[in-house]
Amino acid sequence: MKKLKVYVYAISKNESKFVESFVKSMSEADGIYVLDTGSTDNTIELLKREKNVVVREEKIEPFRFDVARNTSLAMVPIDADICVCTDFDEVFEPGWRDKLESVWLKEHPTRVDYLYNWSFDAYGHPATTFYMSKIHKRDAYVWEHPVHEVLKFIGENEKSVVVEGMVLNHHQDLTKPRSSYLPLLEVSVKENPEDDRNLHYLGREYMYYGEWNKAIDTLLRHLNLKRSTWKDERAASMRFIARSYLGLKRPLEAKMWFLKAIEEAPYLREGYVELASLYYEEGDYEKTYFYLSEASKITEKPKTYINEDFCWNAYFYDLFSVVAYSLGKREEALEYAKKALELNPMDERIKTNFHLMKESIKKPES
């Protein structure tokens, strides 16, 4: 089999805790090229100790992720067959290169998709999983957007294929601030107000910051764009509008938008579960049970970043068990409590509920 030249490129800033795992994971490549944008810890020193790593220091001012990515990509040798863009908190499962080369030689793509475990639960099980596509042909792509940057194809005849069995795991550093995201998203939307993706992200970011009215206005703009056609993301914007109305203490509008989200993407659990949670807070167990039941009919978790972990983890089954029990559906409640306990065996409240429900079934109802 022909030997391809595979290079990894990345940007870094204060990544010392990840250097060892990152380099080990990426060592299957022919070289690793890192642009450091201003580390104040010993990241650069650690990287310079590695034989297979080329590191360069350059501050990007004002900082933009697309400029940093393109600068790091420019470090990759011009004869590269495959460029692999990753971050320091990401690691490939071993054997990734062989899988990548096999598909590349057979299909001759310009870029590839591979499974990306963006988050994990407390027990190490993948929580949010979708396909990533940051591996590409040299000189056929450039990065664009100040944040939530994406690869833009600048060649001819783009072709994307999936590399089955190739998995990248993300172990996010939650101590790192993300305060720069909001102003960068505002810049991105100002530069390209018709970009649906970053308009959605900006509305979501306003929601995270509790800027409820800004979130609603921005997400409505997203929904009104002609190019806003992906139903999963549209439904997410609707749910975020609903959350913002809840932040404004306006539950009737929130319910309306949750229902819109369900109508937009009835194949996703999120709208049903969030509406069920709202009815639970209001004490309406019949409606809570109804919407959880509708959600439970969706048995396959789609591989999309839109997925919310609470729709599939112990929270979902715990809530279902409590509501079912309150409605006198004891055996059903026990079934859901058992599932919740399996997913979160260390939760004492769930454990207690399970045993109480189990005992109640043994006793005749009075």
Question: pLDDT tens across 230-268, in order?
Answer: 999 999 999 999 999 999 999 999 999 999 999 999 999
| pLDDT attached to residue 157 | 95
Which CATH code is given to the segment(s) 313-366?
1.25.40
Average pLDDT over residues 306-324: 95
d(CA 363, CA 107) in angstroms, rounded, equals 63
Q: Do domains 6-170 and 181-307 have the same CATH topology?
A: no
| 175: Cβ contacts below 8 Å, ≥ 6 apart | none
Query: Which residues lie across from 32 on neighbouring strands?
Result: 8, 53
d(CA 258, CA 273): 9
Q: What is the Cα 107 distance to its own chain's centre? A: 28
Distance CA 205, CA 199 (A): 10
CA distance 232 to 223: 12
| H helix count then E strand count, the chain | 14, 10
Q: Residue 37 class from Cβ within 10 Å (0-12 exposed, 13-18 middle, 19+ buried)?
A: buried
Q: Where exactly are the structural domains of the chain?
A: 6-170, 181-307, 313-366
Q: What is the pLDDT of residues 22-80, one digit of tens each?
A: 999 999 999 999 999 999 999 999 999 999 999 999 999 999 999 999 999 999 999 99
Q: Under a CB-based contact definition with an 8 Å cutoff, are residues 115 and 46 in contact?
A: no
* pLDDT at residue 17, as a whole number: 95
Architecture in CATH of 6-170: Alpha-Beta Complex (3.90)
- Are residues 270 and 235 in contact, defined by beta-carbon separation less than 8 angstroms? yes
Hey, what are 128's tokens? 């949010």
DSSP string, 225-264: -TT---HHHHHHHHHHHHHHHHHTT-HHHHHHHHHHHHHH
Q: What percent of the chain has pLDDT over 70?
A: 98
Over the range 300-325, which residues count as b (16 or more CB within 10 Å of their CB) and which as e? Answer: ebeeeebbbbbbbbbbbbbbbbbbbb
In this model, does residue 175 exceed pLDDT 80? no
> What is the mean pLDDT of the segment spanning 293-298?
98
Q: Please measure the distance between the N-terminal and C-terminal CA atoms of the chain and give it in whole angstroms.
A: 74
CATH numeric code, 181-307: 1.25.40.10
**Alpha carbons 22 and 170: distance in angstroms, whole number:** 11
Mean pLDDT of the chain: 95
